[in-house]
A and B are shown apart, each in its own frame.
Chain A
Amino acid sequence: MRTASGKRTKAENIYLPVSGRIEEIRKKTEDVSLFRVSTASPLRYTPGQFFMVSVWGAGEVPISTASLCEDDLFVEFCVRKAGTVTGAIHSLQEGDRLWLRGPYGNGFAVGRRANGDVLLVAGGIGIAPLRPIIQMFAKDGSAGSVTLLYGSKGPQDVVFMDEVQVWRSGGIDVILTVDRANCDWRGSAGLVTDLWHRARVDFSRATAYICGPEIMIKSVMRDLSLFGMPDERIITTLEAHMKCGVGKCGHCYSGPKYICTDGPVFSYKEIKEYSLLG
């Protein structure tokens, strides 16, 4: 809109990324690495939010925060090498620059619920956005019990295997499962939905945080709802193709909701109401 004086205002450019420095790269599995990035200006984000991460010449992708924002100094991204941009990110070295815009999205409204258990269900790389919640409960404890059900393809694909012990000593009941086990594997084999009996959770009073492949999210939500968990306490974060992260490009427009600005965190109630999952 034209300003009264027709004067040019130096408006901020919402698409302009800021430069970040890769402080550390930790290889987690064959195709997943954890990137710790710092920026000149302080970073404030909450669990479940995401950044638009770019490599000039390759492009920009939405990546959820995999760390707890504690001292505003860095953010961690857990990236699976899947396409063009994530491939370019994986070719970077420590000390290289990664460009960021954000944080975007609503994030998990997570707190230490007074009288309820917490159930976290993750599939594959879906552990990444749940990691800050796990870290939070492992550090500060929780009123109820905290259980993590985590499914991976194989024993070598468990992304945060090195942190499982830390989480366990923080009081979190970590149940691991793989699709295909080998003789060294000491966890379960099969789908996460086969392990409900192992979760010591009062379903009717618990809150669930779920992230993983669409098919897993769908069946986990359906099961938990059948077990009597209220739909508004079954919470997931959805993945979508995005080009802007700010509700303009239209790619994540799903029903009347934009995954980027109205989500990516939605409850089962909202997912059913707006048919966000097909």
Chain B
Amino acid sequence: MKSEWVLSKDHLSYWLRQLRNERELIGPLRDGGKDILFRTVDMLHEIVLECPSSLPSPKGFLFPQYEAMFSCRGLSLSDGSDGKREISDLRDRTRRVIFGVRSCDVSAVRLLDAFCLGKLRDPYYEERRRNTFLISLVCNNPDPTCFCLGLGTGPYLEEGFDIQMTDLGDRYFVQAGSPEAVRTVRAMNFFFRKPRKVDYEDQYEVFLSSKARFRKRINLEGPRQAILSGKVGDDFWQEVTDRCFECGGCSYSCPVCTCFTVTDRINPEGIERARLWDSCMFKGFTRMAGGVLPNEKRVQRTKRWYYHKLVHYPRTTGKFGCVGCGRCAVACPGKIDMARTATKIKGLALKEEVE
């Protein structure tokens, strides 16, 4: 049987309120500066669904900007007692439901799953992921910077979501993609009804119109092949690098980037070992003991970021390390972003062909 339902918009807030009984409800909210951020929802009417993409992405609920890993109490450096008891593991076990996630961000979470839960499982990510339930919303109005269409990571998904909802005007088309999602809907089946023929037709039309609204049509396969065939030289990357302010905005806003640094903080209560987002765009990223920096030029850092996403990701996972969310285009003050760089590489390759 198909796990599909229809939810009237009148019932949305009731349903969310029910979900909130068991989990912390996270949704897109507008802050004082009019930015869209994923935050804990206090007032349901404050959720904004017709808005540009959030910045930063909701990855912070699975991989926070600052996450305490361990606390270490009553341990002086020369303390001879057994230390195991005093170290506590600070894994976050809060159960959360994130409502209004975009399809690209759900696709990014799938990439994070593959990376963080691969051969060696990252315990902090794993715990948060296990306790997080994602309700994604099909993008009826993609932003001007969006290019998920070319990557198959949006504006709607065929699979890989928990619950996917499509706005049909007065109602939502609801699809459950995991056993837990089916259970979640069934537990409150009085809010939902079975879809009719007209619901399927409307959903199809919404998908069509959304696809037609994309301003950017980018295929990253072309740039990947141009790079592999050696058509993209260092002078190209130098041009890109010349515009880089080394702010790290691209990595921080990227829903796929996961580099982190670890730091020990000494508090009155003890020592806390925490991890923080880091960016490979920073000069100090590869600094070794005593401040020794490997012989590395700025252009190599730019290249590494793009190569990782465009060449190495496909080689190891079969997928690009980019979901086309377009946040790097919003974040970058130097107007460097994946879509623009891909377009430039395409132009470079074409020019070479003509010549």
Give the total of A residues in contact with B, Cβ under 8 Å.
52
List the 4 shortest-distance A-B pairs measured between CB atoms, nearest first. A250-B259, A82-B290, A82-B289, A83-B289
A184 within 8 A of B: no
The answer for the CA separation of A57 and B259 in the assembled complex, in Å, is 22
Kindly list chain A residues whose C-beta atoms are within 8 Å of the C-beta of B70.
15-16
Q: A83-B289, A96-B77 are in contact. List 12 more A-B contacts (CB 8 A).
A: A2-B180, A8-B130, A13-B123, A16-B87, A55-B77, A56-B264, A91-B77, A243-B262, A248-B120, A253-B308, A256-B312, A278-B295
Q: Which residue on chain A has the smallest CB distance to residue B89?
A: A13
Let me know if A249 and B262 touch, CB within 8 A: yes
B residues near A (Cβ < 8 Å) are 69-70, 72, 75, 77-80, 82-84, 87, 89, 91, 93, 113, 115-117, 120-124, 126-127, 129-130, 178-180, 258-264, 266, 271, 273, 275, 278, 280, 285-292, 294-296, 300, 304, 307-308, 311-312, 315-316
Contact of B89 among A16, A88, A248 (CB under 8 A): A16
Instruction: Please give the distance in Å from A272's CB to the nearest CB on chain B.
Output: 16
A86 within 8 A of B: yes
Contact indicator per residue, chain A 195-216, by CB within 8 Å of chain B (1) or not (0): 0000000000000000000100
Supposing A6-B130, A253-B308 touch, asked if A241 and B84 sit within 8 A by C-beta, the answer is no
Kindly list chain B residues whose C-beta atoms are within 8 Å of the C-beta of A6.
130, 180
- Tell me which residues from 2 to 59 in chain A have a Cβ below 8 Å from any Cβ of chain B: 2-4, 6, 8, 11-16, 18-19, 21, 55-59
The answer for the CA separation of A215 and B93 in the assembled complex, in Å, is 47
Kindly list chain A residues whose C-beta atoms are within 8 Å of the C-beta of B79.
97
Contact of A253 among B121, B261, B271, B304 (CB under 8 A): B304
Kindly name the residue among A14, A15, A86, A246 whose own CB sees the greatest number of chain B CB atoms within 10 A.
A15
Let me know if A214 and B295 touch, CB within 8 A: yes
Kindly list chain A residues whose C-beta atoms are within 8 Å of the C-beta of B121.
11, 14
Q: Which residue on chain A has the smallest CB distance to residue B260?
A: A249
Contact of A92 among B78, B127, B280 (CB under 8 A): B78
A-B pairs with CB below 8 Å: how many?
142
Q: Tell me the interface secondary structure of chain A in the complex.
A: loop
Supposing A8-B93, A14-B123, A56-B75 touch, asked if A1 and B290 sit within 8 A by C-beta, the answer is no
A251 within 8 A of B: yes
Kindly list chain B residues whose C-beta atoms are within 8 Å of the C-beta of A13.
89, 91, 123
Let me know if B286 and A240 touch, CB within 8 A: yes
Let me know if A241 and B122 touch, CB within 8 A: no
Kindly list chain A residues whose C-beta atoms are within 8 Å of the C-beta of B115.
248
A228 within 8 A of B: no
Q: Which residue on chain B has the smallest CB distance to residue A21?
A: B80
Let me know if B120 and A14 touch, CB within 8 A: yes
A60 within 8 A of B: yes
Let me know if B296 and A278 touch, CB within 8 A: yes
